[in-house]
Amino acid sequence: MLDCLTWGTAHHFGNALAGQHRLRYRVFVQRAGWNVPHINEMEWDQYDTPAAHYLVWRDDDGEARGVVRFSPTNVPYMIADIWPEMVTDVPLPRDTLTWEATRLAVDPSASPALRRQIRREMVVGIMEFGLMYGVQRYIHLMPPTFVRSFLLGNGMNTWAVGPTRRIDGVPCTVWLTEVSAERLETVRKVTGVRQPVLRLADDDAMAPAVAA
């Protein structure tokens, strides 16, 4: 399951919000060596705002093992602010139908079998989230090798909208990814994940107990 949370709903999910910041620290600061803000072994940036939505995959012990962050493009977003020149084939989106996906990560310390499970559930969750919020497409900056293995390899329809250039020594490209009910069905067939994977703050399982 993937917990779907915001700043406004994070209190329903225990340590999920802090946990995804810790996972991002391990992946992006410790492992990848990014020069990004961090404190108390938690990574964050200026796009962690009330507009951001997080999907967090946690194991049975409550440890965050997978994360992706979404924000609509009608608020300031990373690609438009930092790498607008990398989008050459379409206008830079600034609307509620296109959301930026960032900080997509799976815990590298997890076993290969667990990493495959997390990836499969995450791509299904990404589609479910988009349909739930009326998203038609995601925009994201990622290495082509990652897109081929994580997205295209799990049934996503993703295409480049600009050139590839090196960022901190890593070849990266800006992509669009389709969101549709038909694409969700394709992703379900490819991954074998047939059941819903998102857990929301208003789900019965998350509702606080009420005294009689």
- Concatenate the DSSP letters of all residues of 97-133 into one string: SEEEEEEEEE-TTS-HHHHHHHHHHHHHHHHHHHHHT
Task: Give the separation between CA 203 and CA 180, rounded to whole angstroms.
Answer: 23
Handedness of CA 160, 149, 136, 50 (dihedral sign): negative
CATH topology classification for 2-206: Aminopeptidase (3.40.630)
**Which positions of the chain have pLDDT values less than 50?**
204-212
Taking only the tens place, the pLDDT of each residue in 122-169 is 999 999 999 999 999 999 999 999 999 999 999 999 999 999 999 988
Domain assignments of the chain as residue spans, ordered by start: 2-206
Q: Measured at the alpha carbon of residue 150, what is the angle toward residues 149 and 155, in degrees to the nearest 5?
A: 95
Taking only the tens place, the pLDDT of each residue in 63-72 is 999 999 999 9
> What is the number of H-type helices and E-type strands within the chain?
5, 11
Classified as helix, coil or strand, 11 is helix
Which residues of the chain form beta strands (DSSP E)?
A: 2-5, 38-39, 42-43, 53-58, 64-72, 98-106, 137-142, 158-160, 165-167, 170-178, 198-199
Q: What is the pLDDT of residue 24?
A: 98
Kindly report the number of other CB atoms within 10 A of residue 133's CB atom.
15
Strand partners, 74: none
Q: What is the pLDDT of residue 203?
A: 63
Q: What is the pLDDT of residue 168?
A: 85
DSSP 153: G
Q: What is the pLDDT of residue 202?
A: 79
Nearest to 122 by CA among 191, 205, 50: 191
DSSP 181: H
163 CB-side CA count, 13 A: 7
